[in-house]
Structures are given as structure tokens and as C-alpha cells.
């Protein structure tokens, strides 16, 4: 199947920030087979993209998709209250059906806002994968592993859980060309260094990446440092944890020596500015991390702390925070932020062939309406990148393709019944509240 999108503004998301003011993109099965000013060949379907901007699908580098069920339950509280009083008590009474319902709701929300790929850390991973398959989105699923008494009756010991995750990764990796897998050791405060070392060893021997929360709060950093093992990054390097490809979510309370370790070991970062700000956790030094040559993607985190899955808001908020903190308006330019949300985010998330409109890459792309006041005026080709980051938003997303399949048209998801999904999520949220009240 060859689909020809013609006559649109094409923002490629490549390293050169290439923009075609009137360009064509051709999708052939699940790949991009042509990009340029005028396609001379045949096709099976033609899509008039005039009046639209065609861009790579956005990549959400860190989230917990079922937590849409907890949206609005943890507002205006600190991290400890959020985790120990609002979230964990509900998570341990979730059913597989609840997890599926919450994940489908998240998938719909992401697709409608132009997110075509996301990195998920949660439990009940079979349901996470089925939800992604049904919604039609691309997912890097990293099942959570932790060592906590309240979780052991559900997940078993961390040793047993690691083997379950390994089995899942082997069975699901590559399914339909859209499911990617890895290990999700939760954090150094929920797993011992010995456990983290063994999980990294299993991931390394089986060829899967790691996705972990690192130094999200000042309290976490200080309590770890009191153990006399150096910083968290130093301790993890010492046990060989960073010998495996690692995506380190948050990385707020890092120092220059930590960043040297990240760069040397190829650790990437998922920057979640809105969630971190809402929890009062701090501001990750994204511009400084990028300046070290470290790959950084943008993430929403879970909907309990954001409270949505809208990566457009992260695109605007991330550079504004960086500029305000550094007192330097040049510290995080729009062109770099767009790459954080697309190609650089894909690289950070260990998603190969994703995040750019480039021949041979996966056909994951978004068509955004230019028929809005926020898209006017333009002064040169690069104006479109500035508009995407600073003035446009999710409401302008018109059409979305994932793996060559159109999944959104005129703002409507084509794969699942959105009304039914919203109703199912509400029933699950109500049921969870009833269980913890019982």
C-alpha cells in the first residue's frame, strides 16, 4: 500500500531541521519511501496536505499509561503523599481489566494529540501490550520491577518478577512491528543495589534496555548519598548498571560528575517538566544535559501528576523553564525542543527508525492544521518550527499514521470506540475507589 501526502509544509525533524514549504511524503507499507518537493511516481492513495503541516509523530519518553484512572486524585500534594497515600494504595487493588481500560484511554488521548510512540513503565504488562495493539499506537513497554512488601503478594519477589519480565520481553518484542520491550526496575529506593545489578545483568545478557526513575527528588538524592556510596549515578556505575542501555527518567538532582557518567556510559534522559513542577520536585537541567551530548526526550509522566498526556504542553514548558532558570533566552531553542519531542526522544527511548520523516524510517507521522490564528504569520521556513513549539497545540492535530496505518482522521480515532473507552475507564476508576473504601 503506497500513500502519497502532497502539497503540505513538511517538517522532517532531522538533525538539519529540514523544512519543505511545499513537500510530499510517501508511505509504503510501514515505512517512508519518499520525501521531497514533488513525488513523480504512482500510488494507491493520494492525500491532499495543502493547508496542513506534516511532521513526525511525537514520542512520549516516559509515562505510566493506566494512571489516567487516578487523574485528579493527587493534586496539590507532595511526592511522598502522592506515592504512599494516593497512588500505591489504589495500584495494589487494580485488576487487569482496570489496567487495560486506563491504558486504552491514555492511548486515545496520546494519538489525538499526535503522540505516536510512548515509553510505558507499569505492571500487568500483558494488558499494556494488548491496549497498545488495539488502539494502534507504538509502545516501548518496560514492565515495572520493585521490592516492596505491599507488592510481593501481587508480583512475587523481585527475582521472580525479573524472570516474568524477561519472558514478556521475549514474547512481545516486535509484535505487529509496534511493540518494543525492556526492563523497568522502578528506582534505587525500591530496589537494592544487588537487585539492580542482577536485573541489569539479565537485561544485558538478553539484549533489552532498562528504564528507571533516577534522582527525582532532593530527598531521594540526600538519603542515598547518606549511605556513603557516592551519588546514585556513581553507585549505579560501580555495579555495572549503566553497562546496559539506560533511559533515566527525571534526573533532576544530578551534578556535573553525574552527567559525566551519563555521557560516558550512554545514559539517556526522559525530561518531564510539568509533572516535576506540579510535585514541587525540582527542575531538571535539560539544557546542561543536552550540552554534554546526552540524549534527552520529553515525557508527560503519568496522568496523576500532570494531569494529561499532552506532549505539546511539555514542548512549550520545557524551554520556558530552562530560559527562566538560566536567565538565558537562548538556552533551549525551539529547533532542539522539537527534536526532543521527536527524533532525539526516539533515540533516548531506544526506538530505532522512529521520530524523523526520513526515507526508510517507520511511517509514524502527524498532519496538523494550519488554518488557525496561531499558525500565522510565517517569515521563513524555520518559522514553522517556532510555531510548533511556542504557539500551536494539540487541538490542531488532524490526522495521524502509525506504522503506515491511519489511526486518526479529522481528530477522530479510527481504531477503537472512544465513547465506550471513556465509559470503561470511568467504571474502573469508580470500582478502584470502592475497593479501597471497603
For residue 114, the surrounding DSSP H or E stretch is none
Answer whether 0.95 is exceeded by the pTM. Answer: yes
Q: Would you state the torsion angle of the CA atoms of residues 115, 118, 120, 126, taken in this order, to the nearest 10 degrees?
A: 90
Instruction: Report the percent of the chain where pLDDT is more than 70.
Output: 100
Peptide bond into 377 cis (omega under 30): yes
For residues 419 and 214, what is the distance between their CA atoms, to the nearest angstrom? 37
CA nearest to 10, candidates 56, 53, 59 = 53
Q: What is the DSSP letter of 280?
A: T
| Residue 437 clears pLDDT 80, i.e. is over it | no
For residue 339, the surrounding DSSP H or E stretch is helix 334-341
- pLDDT given for residue 436 in this prediction: 86
Would you state the cell numbers that stand for residue 328, as one nine-digit string?
A: 538565558
Q: Are 272 and 253 in contact (CB under 8 A)?
A: no
- Which residues partner with 397 through β-bridges? 368
Instruction: Report the percent of the chain where pLDDT is more than 90.
Output: 91
Within 212-310, where are the H helices?
A: 218-225, 232-238, 256-265, 273-278, 286-291
Overall residue count recorded for the chain in this entry? 438
Question: pLDDT tens for residues 130-187?
Answer: 999 999 999 999 999 999 888 899 999 999 999 999 999 999 999 999 999 999 999 9
CA nearest to 400, candidates 189, 168, 108, 67 = 108
- pLDDT given for residue 99 in this prediction: 98
Amino acid at each position: 500500500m503506497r500513500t502519497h501526502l502532497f502539497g503540505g509544509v513538511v517538517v522532517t525533524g532531522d538533525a538539519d531541521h529540514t523544512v519543505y514549504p511545499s513537500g510530499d511524503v510517501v508511505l509504503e507499507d510501514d515505512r517512508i519511501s519518499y520525501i521531497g518537493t514533488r513525488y513523480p511516481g504512482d500510488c494507491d492513495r493520494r492525500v491532499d496536505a495543502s493547508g496542513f503541516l506534516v511532521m513526525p509523530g511525537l514520542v512520549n519518553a516516559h509515562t505510566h499509561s493506566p494512571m489516567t484512572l487516578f487523574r485528579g486524585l493527587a493534586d496539590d500534594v507532595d511526592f511522598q503523599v502522592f506515592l504512599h497515600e494516593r497512588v500505591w494504595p489504589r495500584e495494589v487493588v487494580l485488576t487487569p481489566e482496570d489496567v487495560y481500560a486506563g491504558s486504552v484511554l491514555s492511548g486515545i488521548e496520546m494519538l489525538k494529540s499526535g503522540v505516536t510512540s510512548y515509553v510505558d513503565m507499569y505492571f500487568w504488562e500483558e494488558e499494556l501490550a494488548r491496549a497498545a495493539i488495539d488502539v494502534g499506537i507504538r509502545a516501548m513497554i518496560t514492565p515495572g520491577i520493585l521490592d516492596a512488601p505491599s507488592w510481593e503478594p501481587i508480583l512475587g519477589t523481585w527475582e521472580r518478577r525479573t524472570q516474568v519480565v524477561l519472558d514478556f520481553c521475549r514474547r512481545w518484542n516486535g509484535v505487529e512491528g509496534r511493540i518494543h520491550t525492556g526492563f523497568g526496575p522502578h528506582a534505587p529506593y525500591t530496589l537494592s543495589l544487588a537487585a539492580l545489578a542482577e536485573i541489569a545483568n539479565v537485561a544485558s545478557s538478553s539484549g533489552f534496555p532498562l528504564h528507571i526513575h533516577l534522582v527525582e527528588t532532593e530527598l531521594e538524592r540526600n538519603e542515598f548519598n547518606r549511605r556513603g556510596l557516592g551519588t546514585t549515578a556513581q553507585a549505579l556505575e560501580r555495579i555495572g548498571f549503566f553497562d546496559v542501555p539506560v533511559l533515566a527518567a527525571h534526573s533532576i538532582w544530578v551534578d556535573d560528575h553525574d552527567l559525566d557518567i551519563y555521557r560516558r556510559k550512554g545514559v539517556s534522559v526522559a525530561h518531564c517538566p510539568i509533572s516535576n513542577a506540579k510535585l514541587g520536585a525540582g527542575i531538571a537541567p535539560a539544557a546542561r544535559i543536552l550540552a554534554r551530548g546526552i540524549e534527552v526526550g520529553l515525557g508527560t509522566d503519568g496522568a496523576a501528576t500532570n494531569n494529561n498526556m499532552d506532549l505539546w504542553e511539555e514542548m512549550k514548558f520545557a524551554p520556558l523553564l530552562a530560559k527562566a532558570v538560566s536567565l538565558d533566552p537562548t538556552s533551549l531553542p525551539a529547533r532542539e525542543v522539537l527534536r526532543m519531542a521527536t527524533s532525539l526522544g526516539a533515540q533516548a527511548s531506544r526506538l530505532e527508525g522512529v521520530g524523523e520523516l526520513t526515507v526508510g524510517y517507520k511511517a509514524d507521522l502527524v498532519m496538523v492544521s494550519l488554518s488557525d490564528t496561531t499558525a500565522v504569520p510565517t517569515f521563513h521556513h524555520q518559522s514553522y518550527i517556532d510555531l510548533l513549539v511556542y504557539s500551536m497545540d494539540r487541538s490542531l492535530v488532524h490526522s495521524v499514521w502509525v506504522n503506515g496505518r491511519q489511526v486518526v482522521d479529522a481528530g477522530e480515532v479510527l481504531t477503537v470506540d472512544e465513547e465506550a473507552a471513556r465509559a470503561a475507564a470511568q467504571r474502573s476508576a469508580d470500582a478502584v475507589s470502592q475497593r479501597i473504601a471497603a
